[in-house]
């Protein structure tokens, strides 16, 4: 389905986050969009809706001409369309309301309810994961818990849906949770004690070093490209976790650390003298603080440049497993 956009051109300057709200022309979601547009004028709020029988853009007339609001007509079940939407709109946050919701109809249209509510959610999850969105909020229903006259449900209550609509929402909820368990809840693996130290250079400084060798290096000479700045793997993990997870305490940082069995050999450090490189006129320019932030940003934007990049985050294979 081709997208129908209510506003022409790109986002106005000064807008920071880009929030995608699916099913935004529905009753609840339209109220959420109005609140977002009015309370977050520095956010671009993108309303994605197929405009099915239960949708109405009239719900959004109070914000339809706002500079930070944009409407896109489209189907969450179309993978190519969703992929292109995430790429072109640079989505940061997803609020997923879109669904077939009329319980009565679900008894006669089970396949359609499962297709939209389960498959559509999967398509969005996959696109959001590949786009490395900051947050994915899935909107479920109280009906996933089943019926009760006196027992109060909490978030840990088992799912016991009693109708096709609730069943499809529960299944989609499981999809979302599985994505979180596999990709969003991954801890930082540290081999062995974590006391090993490594010297770190920013990639741009390394590139400049090679250009210096090409231009000024002498044939037959060996040049150590390095720095005196060193850090333990444990400290590196803590700094990465703090910057990526925006932690507020040491205990929160420790929660994301997982010490695993060390690989067969793991040297404690590689201190090098790079005086010969310095004599050629090269020295590192980018500080650790600046370099690590730039490196994190680069990986967040380019993580999926490789096939199965998650494999690089797994611990060293245990004995008996093929490498």
| C-beta atoms surrounding 171 within 10 Å | 18
CB atoms within 10 A of CB 207: 11
Let me know if 165 is a catalytic residue. yes
Q: Give the Å distances, CA to CA, from 127 to 28, 49, 52, 120, 310.
A: 24, 17, 22, 11, 16
Calpha distance 6→47 (Å, rounded): 10
Evaluate whether 209 touches 277 at the Cβ level (below 8 Å).
Answer: yes
Three-class secondary structure of residue 183 per DSSP: helix
Q: Which of 143, 145, 179, 202 is catalytic?
A: 143
Is there a contact between 196 and 232 (Cβ–Cβ < 8 Å)?
yes
Tell how strand 44-49 and strand 18-22 pair up: parallel
| C-alpha to C-alpha distance for 188 and 57, rounded to whole angstroms | 45
Q: Supply 55's token pair.
A: 């949708």
Q: Rounded distance, CA 145 to CA 167, Å?
A: 10
Residue from 65, 142, 150, 154 carrying the catalytic annotation: 142
Instruction: Please indicate whether residue 267 is annotated as part of the active site.
Output: no
Angle between helices 79-89 and 120-130 (to 10 degrees): 30
Active-site residue flag, 297: no
* Choice among 122, 145, 165, 202 that is catalytic: 165
Q: How many residues does the chain have?
A: 323
For 77, the 3-state DSSP assignment is coil
Identify the CA nearest to 90 among candidates 130, 62, 39, 31. Answer: 130
* Residues recognised as catalytic: 142-143, 165
């Amino acid at each position: 389905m081709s997208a129908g956009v209510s506003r022409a051109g790109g986002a106005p300057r000064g807008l920071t986050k880009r929030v995608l709200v699916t099913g935004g022309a529905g009753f609840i979601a339209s109220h959420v969009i109005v609140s977002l547009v009015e309370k977050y004028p520095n956010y671009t709020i993108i309303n994605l809706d197929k405009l099915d029988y239960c949708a109405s853009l009239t719900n959004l007339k109070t914000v339809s001409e706002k500079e930070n609001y944009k409407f896109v007509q489209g189907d969450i079940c179309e993978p190519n369309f969703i992929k292109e939407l995430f790429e072109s709109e640079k989505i940061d946050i997803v609020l997923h309301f879109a669904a077939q919701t009329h319980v009565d109809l679900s008894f006669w249209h089970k396949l359609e309810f499962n297709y939209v509510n389960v498959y559509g959610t999967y398509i969005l999850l996959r696109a959001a994961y590949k786009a490395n969105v900051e947050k994915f909020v899935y909107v479920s229903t109280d009906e996933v818990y089943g019926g009760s006259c006196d027992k109060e449900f909490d978030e840990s209550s088992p799912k016991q849906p009693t109708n096709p609509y609730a069943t499809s929402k529960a299944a989609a909820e499981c999809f979302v949770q599985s994505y979180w368990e596999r990709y969003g809840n991954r801890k930082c693996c540290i081999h062995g004690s974590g006391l090993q130290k490594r010297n770190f250079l920013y990639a741009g400084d390394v590139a400049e070093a090679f250009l210096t060798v090409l231009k000024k290096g002498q044939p037959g000479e060996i040049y150590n490209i390095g720095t005196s700045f060193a850090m333990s793997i444990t400290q590196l993990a803590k700094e990465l976790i703090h910057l990526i997870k925006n932690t507020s305490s040491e205990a929160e940082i420790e929660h994301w650390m997982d010490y695993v069995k060390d690989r067969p050999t793991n040297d404690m450090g590689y201190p090098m003298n790079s005086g010969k490189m310095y004599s050629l006129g090269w020295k590192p320019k980018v500080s650790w603080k600046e370099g690590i932030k730039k490196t994190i940003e680069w990986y967040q934007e380019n993580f999926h440049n490789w096939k199965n990049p998650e494999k690089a985050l797994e611990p060293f294979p245990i004995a008996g497993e093929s490498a």
